[in-house]
Structure 1
Amino acid sequence: MNRPTRRNFLKHAAATGIVASTTISGTKSSGQVIGANDRVRVAIAGINGRGKIHMGDLGGIKNVEITHLVDPDSRLFASRSATVERYSGKKPKCVQDIREVLEDPTVDAVTIATPNHWHALMTIWACQAGKDVYVEKPCSHNIVEGRRMVEAAQKYGRIVQHGTQWRSDPKWQAYTTDIRDGKYGKLETASIQIFRPRKSIGIKNPIQPPRELDYDLWTGPAPLNPYRTNLVHYRWHWMWDYGNGEIGNLGSHEIEMVRWAMPASASPKSVVSLGGRYGYEDQADTPNTQLTLYDFGDAKVVCQQRGLHFDKPLKMSIDFHTDEGVIKEGKFYLHGKETGEVIEGAPVSGLPENSARAHLQNFIDCVRSRKSEDLASDVLDGHRTAVMAHLGNISYRLGKEASFRNEPHPLSENQFASDSFEGMKRHLVDTASLNLSNASYRLGPTLPFDATTETFLDNSKANQLLSGTYRSGFELPSFTS
């Protein structure tokens, strides 16, 4: 039978939601249990940042072979290929186009560490091609994409793991279980802090992309904007066309832990977000200072992030406020008590132990067993976490400028959100020397959200941001009957 070309593969997958049987037939991962001694053959897509971590962790797992490295930037091939060869003694095949891998019947799984705007399409294509998937956080670039990823995994019976590695940290597993079970009282508010220095991306003029970089392919489903040197690699995180800001980046880890500490049925009923970009002027879109309040009904979630280049070192933490006290940095403080009781075995900060390899090991184990229920963080978990990040960003993007002289009314009804706003102002004065008397912030609308339909109530502008626009040839497949 003729093997499909990449062009025909793409057209067929986008048009029909399925992929030619020649791409699927004969793969070990087509639904059969793989024996413990059978080699799992994996391709890594995106090899600049997290992809390098994938190489090291997969390289340390028994009977796993990294067969392909995939990246539109061929300048990375020599060094990354040498890294894989040091682990395994075998040199992987390096390709720029993921579709070459999806056409290879010997590949069992794909790990995805690309920019966010590629996560959904690569995951769906891989599912259609009979491959299992490990996709980094956030799993999607928008809410509709995440739901399509869940549908694809279900339709094609694929193992899809989400890259929130904290889920494989035993300390966080026990910690969140105790909170969810009410050991420290009923959860009322979870307060997330994401404080990490981020430098300005500067202002760069458009230039021709390097000849070794297939920039059209790097762009993929996103709008084809002029190439700038402050885009590839990594700084795409701070541009809406490709990334989701810090709330979607580091925030995904902490949001997932907060969700884990809540009842399984908990879902956001509304969101409001505010902030801005302070301390410098550059070409980034996303806020480097953001405060978001989620209403879950019985509980609230406050997520605050700071990212000025002269900030103090990284701090990631979650405080859980219950009707009995506060759970903070591995201690439980009863109301009215200044001294906290140490929680045995609890994580003392938001940073987990090195659980990245354990998370990938869990994925490989499930690839072998075909038991998706054993995944530490499956694609549905990843989707629900990403939804929260997207909700905050949608409110922020629809916001209007407000004076710092006026406290945002939607936050005044929650003490922790109000206190966080005051802390945000102090930080901007003390650290960024901002004069609040003539400064402003963007205040988004409070958006009621129906988690069942994954739509906003009576807000057409917000609903327009549930999905994205896709270039011809990179359309998002639909799985409606």
Structure 2
Amino acid sequence: MGSDAKTPRREFLRRTGAAAAAGMAFPTIVTGRALGGTGTAAASERIRLGFIGVGNQGTNNLKDFLKLKDAEVVAVCDVDKDRLAKAAKLAEQGGRKVAALGDYRRLLDDKTIDAVVVTTPDHWHALATTDACVAGKDVYCEKPLSLTVSEGRTMVDVARDAKRIVQTGSQQRSDDKFRLACELVRSGRLGKIKQVKIHLPKVNFDGPAMPDGSPPPELDYNTWLGPAPDRPYNAKHVHYLFRFFWDYSGGQMTNFGAHHLDIAQWGLGRDDSGPVAIEARATFNKDGWFEVSETSHIVYTYDDGIKILCSQGTDGGPNVLFEGEKGSIAVSRGKISSTPDEILKEPLAKGDVHLYVSKDHHQNWLDCIKSRELPICDVAIGHRSATVCHLGNIAIRTGRKLVWDPAAETIVGDPEAAKMLSRPYRAPWRLPESPSAKAGAPARA
């Protein structure tokens, strides 16, 4: 199972589903470093990593990879000098030598780096990931994979053309409880599925709003903006709070929705497609502290009539609740339950659906870099899950029902909404275009 651009989507899913769970074999091959032409290397050689973005979740990812014997952290990069210095200090514990860079392109120029971990704000995900793929690096990119649907498709195409291993940071795919829930659903334990309920948390914006000002000296604000529109600096629009403004992210829909809607797609066997209709209602902060929805309720309808009901900021509940004719399965981080209890008590049989098994999301990516197998949340899967989130936000922003064509990846009959599937980049930034896309044959997977 390689990253062949010509692999059909259904074949890709078959390979990463029950067959993969039966025993993923990682053949003895050289690492990406050797593939890059720096010489022969044993399969056990440590993979040299660079980190692009090291604040918040970037620091968490750095800490996790520092614990893995297969990884060697050699470079960190951030546009905030204070965050960069802290990350370099963390990475250099134990006597390591680490490069601390302010421009990710310098990191990509280093041919001794095998792979990169992208934990930037969302509006930088596509550019950093595709540039890394073109530079011959494998990529771990945080969720949501993209800022727009168009970006996500380009990320898939470029990754396939460059034959890069790209893991989306949707780590719930590597959690045994979420996997079990999806296996039980796909094995028919609930009978015909009626609907899936998703609960997303409230907006955790640090209010109230504050006026624009001057960026602090430690922050290269122009580079932080990158491909986003030129806006005045505001301390409550950057770092963690970026996720509540449309130029940079999509609120809790793309924050937690990227996790939970991903599990819903997995459980429904829809990793290669998506809904056909989307309707939404939402409320917004009355004082305008942030732009994204404060509360929302979105109904996604699939071509078989199954609905996903996604509620944000309105009530409590499990992260994901699958409801069928014979009962229900509720799964959240650290907890799984069923009604009736017997659904969970009966072990999966040999003939049931057994999904791709990953015990550690970061380690799975490292293993796949060596084997060249597709990771558990491959870029194509991450793109489809992010697309569901983006469609929900477009329905929220337009206030209209959307008709979606999952095969063509376009909104039907609403040109205004369809324009929101992409956004222009601020000059001089631009996404690389894959050879397949240039030839008019997108490398779909």
Residue 247 (structure 1) aligned to one of 253, 265, 269? 253
Cα distance in 2, alignment partners of residues 78 and 148 from structure 1? 33
Match of 1:140 in 2: 146
Match of 2:387 in 1: 387
Contact 1:159 1:366 in 2 (8 A): yes
Higher mean alpha-carbon deviation, 447-456 vs 258-267, is at 258-267
Cα distance, 1:202 vs. partner? 2.3
Match of 2:360 in 1: 358
SS at match of 2:384: helix
Deviations 1:415-454 (A, max 9, x none): xxxxxxxxxxxxxxxxxxxxxxxxxxxxx21111111111
1:449 aligns with 2:404: yes
Cα distance in 1, alignment partners of residues 210 and 158 from structure 2? 39
Cα distance in 2, alignment partners of residues 371 and 120 from structure 1? 22
Residue 180 (structure 1) aligned to one of 168, 176, 186? 186
Match of 1:234 in 2: 240
Cα distance in 2, alignment partners of residues 275 and 366 from structure 1? 40
Cα distance, 1:27 vs. partner? 4.4
Cα distance, 1:356 vs. partner? 10
Deviations 1:83-122 (A, max 9, x none): 1122x42141111111001111011000011000000011
Cα distance in 2, alignment partners of residues 222 and 258 from structure 1? 30
Cα distance, 1:33 vs. partner? 9.1
1:156 aligns with 2:111: no
Match of 2:344 in 1: 343
One-letter identity of the residue aligned with 2:65: L
1:93 aligns with 2:112: no
Cα distance in 2, alignment partners of residues 276 and 221 from structure 1? 28
Match of 1:71 in 2: 78
Cα distance in 1, alignment partners of residues 144 and 430 from structure 2? 20
Match of 1:171 in 2: 177
* Aligned positions of 1:458-477 closer than 5 A: 458-477=413-432
SS at match of 1:28: helix
Match of 1:286 in 2: 292
Deviations 1:253-275 (A, max 9, x none): 11111011113465210101111
Match of 1:404 in 2: none
Match of 2:25 in 1: none
Contact 1:202 1:230 in 2 (8 A): no
Cα distance, 1:128 vs. partner? 0.3
* Aligned positions of 1:369-380 closer than 5 A: 369-372=371-374, 375-380=375-380
1:106 aligns with 2:112: yes
Compared with structure 1, are the counterparts of its residues 231 and 29 closer, same or farther at alpha carbon in structure 2 (3 Å cutoff)? farther
Deviations 1:20-73 (A, max 9, x none): xxxxxx943439996332121101111111111111111011131111111111
Compared with structure 1, are the counterparts of its residues 235 and 192 closer, same or farther at alpha carbon in structure 2 (3 Å cutoff)? same
Deviations 1:272-317 (A, max 9, x none): 1111124x5243110120111000022110111107xxx98xx652
The unaligned stretches of length 5 or more in structure 2 are: 1-31, 348-356, 440-445
Larger Rg over CA atoms: 1
One-letter identity of the residue aligned with 2:303: G
Contact 2:190 2:323 in 1 (8 A): no
Deviations 1:221-261 (A, max 9, x none): 10010001112211010000001110100111111110111
One-letter identity of the residue aligned with 1:49: N
Q: What fraction of aligned residue pairs are identical, expressed as a percent?
A: 34
Match of 1:305 in 2: 312
Cα distance in 1, alignment partners of residues 368 and 119 from structure 2? 20
Cα distance, 1:327 vs. partner? 2.1
1:80 aligns with 2:95: no
Cα distance in 2, alignment partners of residues 250 and 323 from structure 1? 28
1:45 aligns with 2:47: no
Match of 1:327 in 2: 329
Match of 1:126 in 2: 132
Cα distance in 2, alignment partners of residues 144 and 345 from structure 1? 43
Match of 1:194 in 2: 200
Cα distance in 1, alignment partners of residues 411 and 180 from structure 2? 34
Contact 2:141 2:167 in 1 (8 A): yes
Cα distance in 2, alignment partners of residues 320 and 225 from structure 1? 42
SS at match of 1:261: helix
Match of 1:28 in 2: 34
CA RMSD of aligned residues (A): 2.3
Cα distance, 1:175 vs. partner? 1.9
SS at match of 1:475: coil
Match of 2:64 in 1: 57
Contact 2:201 2:252 in 1 (8 A): no
Cα distance in 2, alignment partners of residues 159 and 42 from structure 1? 14
Q: State the number of aligned residues.
A: 389
Cα distance in 1, alignment partners of residues 249 and 207 from structure 2? 14
Alignment TM-score, normalising by the size of structure 2: 0.83
* Aligned positions of 1:264-279 closer than 5 A: 264=270, 267-278=274-285
Match of 1:258 in 2: 264
Cα distance in 2, alignment partners of residues 281 and 34 from structure 1? 58
Cα distance in 1, alignment partners of residues 204 and 245 from structure 2? 14
One-letter identity of the residue aligned with 1:397: R
The unaligned stretches of length 5 or more in structure 1 are: 1-25, 335-339, 347-354, 399-443
Cα distance, 1:200 vs. partner? 4.3
Cα distance in 1, alignment partners of residues 239 and 245 from structure 2? 12
SS at match of 2:92: helix
One-letter identity of the residue aligned with 2:56: G
SS at match of 2:390: helix
Cα distance in 2, alignment partners of residues 79 and 328 from structure 1? 39
Contact 2:203 2:294 in 1 (8 A): no
Structure of greater relative contact order (alpha carbons < 8 Å, 6+ residues apart): 2
Contact 2:203 2:251 in 1 (8 A): no
Compared with structure 1, are the counterparts of its residues 62 and 297 closer, same or farther at alpha carbon in structure 2 (3 Å cutoff)? same
Contact 2:358 2:364 in 1 (8 A): no
